[in-house]
Structure 1
Amino acid sequence: MAHIALDNDLPGISGLLANRPDTAEPLGHLVEVLLRGPSPLPRGERELIAAYVSRLNATPFCAGSHGAFAAAQLSGGEALVAAVLADPDTAPVTPLTRALLRIAAEVQSAAAPVSDEALAAARAEGAGDTEIHDTVLIASAFCMYNRYVSGLSTRIPDAAYYRESAKRVVAHGYRGLGAGAGAGV
């Protein structure tokens, strides 16, 4: 049961956003830009970063949602996402993706500069300023989204919810969050 009274029975951030459409609009816009807007990083990889940070933050709703969204857009699907969430160092991802996940983990662990080693490793794999910027901003934003969802103790749905939400998000994006769209952030 959520720590606050909600006027709906939607799980996770969906219920929070439906309850407060005034906050849904800017939060939905931010996630739309971060995960679906222009970037040299494919949408599926950006979703994977969001899922990984959410897993590190022990936020099952966001890890499940963005894991499903990533799986729907990446070759390797659910098995790949599960491997990354279990151990990105052994997961079958590109060296660049692995390096960016390390940067995301550093951002998640402390409000401190990313280490020179992590930056050098990402650059050695071909990351430019935009890939590094987008990774840091996604990781930072998902620390906030995760704390919003976990801090208010929102309901966690079953696995079928995530798969259905993935169909909507992949097809239509994050527009309409909080209006009963049922998509996770």
Structure 2
Amino acid sequence: MPHISLKSDEPGINGLFRYRPETARPLADLAEVLLRGDSTLSRGERELIATYVSSLNECRFCSNSHAAFAAAQLPGGIELVDQVRSDPDGAPISAKLRALLVVAAAVQRGGPHVTTADVDAARAVGATEMEIHDTVLIAAAFCMFNRYVDGLGTVAPADRSAYAAMAEQIVDQGYSAVVPESQPAG
């Protein structure tokens, strides 16, 4: 049960977007740029970073929704996503993505936890300056998104299939499509 009256039964950030569309637009635009904009990291890889950080933050809605989004865009599907969430070191991903997940996990613990060694290790396996930048920003943004969603006690479906329709919409239309055009409810 959400901590405030959202006047919507939509789960997670979707209910919050409906409650406050004027704040939803810049948040959705940020997600659009970070997760779907031009990048040498695939959309699936960027969604996987968001999923991993959300899992570390124990945000059920964001972890499960972005897991579905990543699975829909990665050849390994949900099996790969689950492997990364449980054991990134043993998951069949590139050394570069593995190193970027180390950077993302450090950001999740707090900015000062990102070390020169972490960044150098990512560079050593081919991560570009832009990929390192975007990984840090995705991780930081998802710490904020996770705290927003969980801080207001939003609903998070337990059944993973509930996230499939959301994944289809995000993959096909992007994050900007989920922002309501209605007036704020509060």
TM-score, length basis structure 2: 0.94
Gaps of 5+ in 2: 182-186
Report the counterpart of residue 11 of structure 1 in structure 2: 11
Whole-Å separation in 1 of the counterparts to 2:162 and 2:30: 23
Give a deviation string over 1:92-133, Cα, whole Å, max 9, x none: 111000000000000000131621111111011101100000
| 1:70–1:81 contact (8 Å) kept in structure 2 | yes
Whole-Å separation in 1 of the counterparts to 2:177 and 2:75: 27
Whole-Å separation in 1 of the counterparts to 2:73 and 2:128: 23
Is 1:172 matched with 2:176?
Answer: no
Give a deviation string over 1:123-172, Cα, whole Å, max 9, x none: 11101100000000000000000000010010012212211111111111
Is 1:64 matched with 2:64?
Answer: yes
Identity value in percent: 56
Whole-Å separation in 1 of the counterparts to 2:90 and 2:160: 25
Is 1:2 matched with 2:2?
Answer: yes
Q: Stretches of 4+ moved more than 6 A in 1?
A: none
Moved more, 82-91 or 159-168: 159-168
Report the counterpart of residue 106 of structure 1 in structure 2: 106
Whole-Å separation in 1 of the counterparts to 2:8 and 2:154: 12
Report the counterpart of residue 24 of structure 2 in structure 1: 24
Report the counterpart of residue 184 of structure 2 in structure 1: none
Structure 2 SS opposite 1:112: helix
Report the counterpart of residue 121 of structure 2 in structure 1: 121
Is 1:161 matched with 2:158?
Answer: no
1:179 CA displacement: 2.2
State how many pairs are aligned.
180
Report the counterpart of residue 134 of structure 1 in structure 2: 134
TM-score, length basis structure 1: 0.95
